Amino acid sequence: MKVHFGECLRKRQEEAGVSNKDICNHFGVVRQQVYRWQNSKDARLSLVERFSDYFEMPVHEFLKEE
């Protein structure tokens, strides 16, 4: 099973009502970095864990595409 990190990120953002600006502010990155993450097929586990914590859900829930 392959998981598309960016699709998972966009889905969690939509569900939580989180904007790209919110993510920029929380992670201290520029808007272009958020776009890169949203279009990335994969990501380091540490980044996945950071986003799981941000959205207050376990990693396996964050990566769920259904």
Report residue 2's pLDDT band, with 50, 70 and 90 as the boundaries: confident
The label of the residue with tokens 């889905």 reads 11
User: For the domain 5-62, what is the CATH superfamily, name and number?
Assistant: lambda repressor-like DNA-binding domains (1.10.260.40)
- Between CA 63 and CA 3 the distance in angstroms is 7
User: What confidence score (pLDDT) does residue 1 get?
Assistant: 65
Neighbours of 60 (CB within 10 A): 8
Q: How do residues 27-61 score in pLDDT, each as one tens digit?
A: 999 999 999 999 999 999 999 999 999 999 999 99
24 vs 65, residue with greater confidence: 24
